[in-house]
Amino acid sequence: MDILHQRLAKYTLPQECIEQGIYPYFREIEGKQGTEVEMGGHKVLMFGSNAYTGLTGDERVIEAGIKAMRQYGSGCAGSRFLNGTLDIHVQLEKELADFVGKDEALCFATGFTVNSGVIPQLVGKNDYIICDDRDHASIVDGRRLAFATCLKFKHNDMEDLERQLKKCAPDSVKLIVVDGVFSMEGDLCNLPEIIRLKKEYGATVMVDEAHGLGVFGKEGRGVCNHFGLTDEVDLIMGTFSKSLASIGGFIAADKTIINWLRHNARTYIFSASATPAATAAAREALHIIQREPQRIQHLWDVTKYALKRFKEEGFEIGATQSPIIPLYVRDVQKTFFVTKLAFDKGVFINPVIPPACAPQDTLVRFALMASHTQEEVERGIQILVSVFKELELL
């Protein structure tokens, strides 16, 4: 056995969890992701999805993808830079730019490659990237690829952000990158204060709206719109894999920034472009969101109901302000047991353990969709109450 295999063979945690019957990953879903899914002959309520608008199984979205495949084929066989640009890519980019309130947008094949491709191209070796310490892994990997100095500030701690800004050379680029909605805890970035500090220190701000689009702001335009600060934010990033019921991502900004990224972002010009089906599906989802404001209103109705009920039952849910509701367990093994028992009783939720959170902050993540009914939410809560009580967590 070579050195690599010797080293990797020591990683046995997954096998240990499988032996205990509490391994919570790669569970196979046998159909569309609706509010209830079939898994190995077992029907469970789905509270582990990021499909906030509930459109992944919508026939209009599905039909748009099918129609695009018939017209354009199954793939583009190249990058956007060369032979992979379709007219529907350009149309979607124009519509996304208008939706989030920026001059232009670029569509990437995945949301992860937006952050990992855009961030390192905005800064040089004498510049700075400043991130919230709970930013998404794609932001973390983007900063790792950069030659700039990387600084972190404590989660939503504006005094610490200012301390980091004071370390920066005044004439260097200071790129502040934050999640609009933090995907595990469900709280929002303190965007008003970030913008105040941006102006004071001459910084540039990029907001990841992966979990904000389709949820916050007018017609679901995101957290930047929600705070009325779209014009003050320099770059807005979003994904298609949540509210837009597809796969892919985009960056939106002014013409100067987009012109640079279009010709320099490596994950854009050296990756195959998004498939016709994924592009058309995201575009149709975007149209539906704007045509059906009642969809987002219902999402907030069930979210407010769930927040109220979890508080009444005594769950610790932190500072969430979104359809992402963390139920804190604060023990890795018990987090796995909560996930397993909930599944056995008919609820699909996701465990969150290090490195996605601090060891003392382990939780299960309960996420709402616009397609959930209040009755389904109440059923899910009752099951989780029984699980938490069984494990003496309530």
User: Which DSSP letter does residue 181 get?
Assistant: B
Co-location of 229 and 216 in the same domain: yes
CA proximity to 288, closest of 246, 251, 236, 247: 246
Q: Is 9 inside any structural domain? A: no
Lowest-pLDDT range, 158-162, 219-223, 354-358? 354-358
CATH label of the domain that carries residue 36: 3.90.1150.10
The answer as to whether 201 is a domain residue is yes
Q: Is residue 52 part of a domain?
A: no
333-349: average pLDDT? 96
Tell me, yes or no, whether 301 and 282 share the same domain.
no
pLDDT at 357 over 90: no
Q: Are residues 274 and 133 in the same domain?
A: yes
On whether both 214 and 77 belong to a single domain, the answer is yes
**Domain-embedded: residue 5:** no
- Same structural domain, 276 and 353: no
Give all strands (DSSP E) within 116-170, no chain letters. 128-132, 149-153
Are 247 and 314 contained in the same domain? no
Q: Does 285 share its domain with 310?
A: no
CATH of the domain at 89: 3.40.640.10
pLDDT at 358: 82
Q: What is the pLDDT of residue 381?
A: 98
Q: Is residue 6 part of a domain?
A: no
pLDDT of residue 42: 85
Domain boundary among 261, 276, 291: 291
Average pLDDT, the chain: 96
pLDDT at 354: 87
CA angle 332, 381, 223 (to 5 degrees): 80
- DSSP category for residue 256: H
Q: Are residues 272 and 315 in the same domain?
A: no
Question: Residue 239 pLDDT more than 90?
Answer: yes
Say if residue 302 is in the same domain as residue 255.
no
Domains in the chain, number: 2
* Paired tokens of 387: 């699980």
Does one domain contain both 304 and 283? no
**Which position has the token pair 């007219």?**
87
Q: In what order do the strands lie in the sheet with 204-208?
A: 104-108, 249-253, 235-239, 204-208, 174-179, 128-132, 149-153
Is residue 100 domain-resident? yes
User: Is 7 inside a domain boundary?
Assistant: no
Can you give the pLDDT at residue 40?
82
Domain co-membership, 358 together with 232: no
What is Dmax (Cα atoms) for the chain?
61
Tell me: the pLDDT tens digits for 166-218?
Answer: 999 999 999 999 999 999 999 999 999 999 999 999 999 999 999 999 999 99
Distances (CA, A) of 248 to 24, 111, 349, 376: 26, 5, 24, 30
Whether the model pTM is above 0.85: yes
The domain boundary residue, chosen from 256, 291, 326: 291
pLDDT digits (tens, 9 = 90+) for 30-57: 988 899 999 888 899 999 999 999 999 9
- 192 CA to centre of own chain: 21
Q: Over 90: is that where the pLDDT of 368 sits?
A: yes
Residue ending a domain, choose from 272, 291, 310: 291
* DSSP conformation letters of 183-221: TTT-PBP-HHHHHHHHHHHT-EEEEE-TTTTTTSSGGG-
Q: Domain containing 262: what range?
A: 59-291
Does the residue 1 lie in any domain? no
Q: Give percent of the chain with pLDDT exceeding 90.
A: 95
* 276 and 366 share one domain: no
CA 114/CA 107 separation, integer angstroms: 8
